[in-house]
Amino acid sequence: MIDERHEELAALYALDLLEGEERSSFKTALAADATLASLVRELRDAGATLAYAAPAAVPPAALRTRVLESVGAAKSAHPPAKPLSFFSVFPWAVAAALTLSAAWLGQLSLAAQAEARLLRDTTTLAEIALKGTQQQLEAERILSRRRLLDSEQQAADTLRLLSSTRTQLAQRDTDLSALNERVAALGTRLQRETGLAHLKITALASLLKNSPQALAVAVWHPDRQEGLLHVEKLPALAADHDYQLWVVDPQYPIPVDGGVFTVDPQTGDARIPFKSKLPITNIAAYAITDEVKGGVAQSAGPFLLLGK
């Protein structure tokens, strides 16, 4: 730590006001004490900064003449003045050095404080920006994860639906193949029984949700205006209801009554000869409905089997 005496000597040395043995002694102390040397450098830098900061002044031309005249008059009127001693200048030199040091250190302190505040503000802003970025990244990660899970779930649902559809299509193909075989067999059987190759054969498919396997085949003899209906797996109706066959001929505005029938309660089968109530020219379709007992003149019930 630098004592008060060395601080005063450092201020004088920085202003080149030390002379003789005192100057030599201080230089020796200065070489051995790095802290003291640093203080001297700081005082010299502060003094140089203030000197450069002062504006240059140009003295008036008549000043030199007035100074010389005043010096001559002083010499003739008064004896030479006693030169200023070192100790008369020392307090002022110390005060000037301390003032320079205080101003310089004050500037350094203010600059350091401003820099520290700027650094704190910059650090705070950086932390806020970092937290915002982290939160945004976390939100994007959660959203991406959710989208990925949704996509995986949709893909799994699509695969299950595709598998189910394939199974249903395979089952329908199997059912259709079996139905075609049954229709062909019934058609062949009916043709063989009637012995006429030119009979008109039509298959009627089931529209019943509770009995999708129901099937009917109608064979029509155009010359005789009569036909034969073969039914399989058609559920039995209540006692006050009958099945009714309808023949669709484009020449009539409504389907033509082909008669009523019932089926075996156990097997759902029936073989019914039928005749049209009106002359038939061209059969476009057959239909079977559920009607009240004894049938109706015009269909009121839903179509249960239909074939074109």
- Final residue before a domain boundary, out of 133, 152, 182: 182
**For residue range 6-59, what is the model confidence (pLDDT) as tens digits?**
778 888 887 777 888 888 888 888 888 888 888 888 888 877 776 666 555 556
Task: Provide the pLDDT for residue 198.
Answer: 63
**For residue range 137-159, what is the model confidence (pLDDT) as tens digits?**
888 888 888 888 888 888 899 98
Residue 194, pLDDT > 80, answer: no
Tell me whether residue 117 is in a domain: yes
Token pair, residue 243, equals: 């099945």
* Maximum average pLDDT range among 64-68, 82-86, 272-276: 272-276
Question: Are residue 265 and residue 291 in the same domain, yes or no?
Answer: yes
**Between 97 and 245, where is the model more confident?**
245
Question: Are residue 177 and residue 147 in the same domain, yes or no?
Answer: yes
Contacts of 93 (CB under 8 A, 6+ apart): 11, 12, 15, 17
Residue 106, pLDDT > 70, answer: no
Token pair, residue 193, equals: 């029984």
- Do the beta carbons of residue 200 and residue 248 sit within 8 Å? no
Residue 260, pLDDT > 80, answer: yes
Question: Are residue 213 and residue 103 in the same domain, yes or no?
Answer: no
**How high does pLDDT run on average in the chain?**
80
Question: Are residue 30 and residue 175 in the same domain, yes or no?
Answer: yes
Question: Are residue 17 and residue 129 in the same domain, yes or no?
Answer: yes
Question: Are residue 10 and residue 143 in the same domain, yes or no?
Answer: yes
Tell me whether residue 41 is in a domain: yes
Question: Are residue 204 and residue 258 in the same domain, yes or no?
Answer: yes
Domain that holds residue 100: 1-49+84-182
Residue 84, pLDDT > 50, answer: no
Question: Are residue 169 and residue 122 in the same domain, yes or no?
Answer: yes
The stretch 165-190 carries a mean pLDDT of 75
- Final residue before a domain boundary, out of 182, 212, 240: 182
- Do the beta carbons of residue 35 and residue 43 sit within 8 Å? no
Report the SS3 class of residue 146: helix
Query: What is the sign of the dihedral through the CA atoms of 194, 197, 199 and 201?
Result: positive
Token pair, residue 83, equals: 């030169």
Question: Are residue 255 and residue 174 in the same domain, yes or no?
Answer: no
CA dist 271 → 48, 63, 178 (Å):
131, 152, 21
Range of weakest confidence among 81-85, 100-104, 247-251, 253-257 = 81-85
- Do the beta carbons of residue 273 and residue 284 sit within 8 Å? no
Task: Provide the pLDDT for residue 52.
Answer: 62
Q: How far is CA 285 from the centre of its chain?
A: 58
Question: Are residue 34 and residue 136 in the same domain, yes or no?
Answer: yes
Question: Are residue 175 and residue 210 in the same domain, yes or no?
Answer: no
Report the SS3 class of residue 192: helix
Question: Are residue 134 and residue 226 in the same domain, yes or no?
Answer: no
pTM summary value: 0.40
